[in-house]
Amino acid sequence: MATVRMIDIAVNFTAVLSRAWSAGVDRIIVTGGSLEESKEALTIAETDARLFCTVGVHPTRCNEFDESGDPEKHFQALLSVAKLGVEKGKKRVRGYTLKTETWNMSSSHKILVTFDEFDKPIGDEGNELTQYLGTLVRMPNHVGVDYDDWRKAKFDIHPEETPEIKSWIFYSMGKKWRTWKASLRYIIYN
């Protein structure tokens, strides 16, 4: 049987965060798996605007409720930690990306996107492409919500890359379009 080596990153958490920020990570979620860990996660998340946290009890620790002597009181304590996090501004509600700087670029300006061996975009430019595709599918003058199948939408995209990359672009746009369509339906009907 293989031995799994666990590393406690909390020993040098500052160094871990420093490496993450240097590598381009722009936000991190600190996970709380118990009431006490949830309190600690919130305390850690308060130290940096790029840190967020979860509040809850991991399924493997459900006995924590019974062991507390009062499961309802324990739940209310968890709820209080979550509410405290919201009050302190740790709830992040992000709107849709607009990518105005990309849409306002000169038509002669090109962004070179690198794809990995699986034909997936990588790096900052890959992220830019992915976000741009999201804005493209949310524009009603490109694709209306009345399309019942993404493949029926008419686009004039001419990727110079492989058919696999073109397939990824349409796959990605399809996922984003379905999510957007579901969001619109939720807003309209709820």
Give the tens place of pLDDT for each residue, 64-121: 888 999 888 988 898 899 888 888 776 554 556 777 788 788 888 888 888 888 888 8
Cβ proximity of 51 and 151 under 8 Å: no
Query: Is 94 part of a structural domain of the chain?
Result: no
Residue 1 belongs to a domain: no
pLDDT score recorded for residue 35: 92
71 in the same domain as 107: no
* 65 and 137 co-located in one domain: no
Look at residue 4 and tell me if it is in a domain.
no
119 CB burial (10 A radius; 0-12, 13-18, 19+): middle
* Overall residue count recorded for the chain in this entry: 190
Domain membership of residue 161 as a residue range:
100-189
108 and 155, same domain (yes or no): yes
> What pLDDT shows up at residue 137?
76
Query: pLDDT: is 81 or 8 the higher one?
Result: 81
The count of structural domains within the chain is 2
Q: Please give the pLDDT value at position 159.
A: 52
Domain boundary among 87, 117, 150: 87
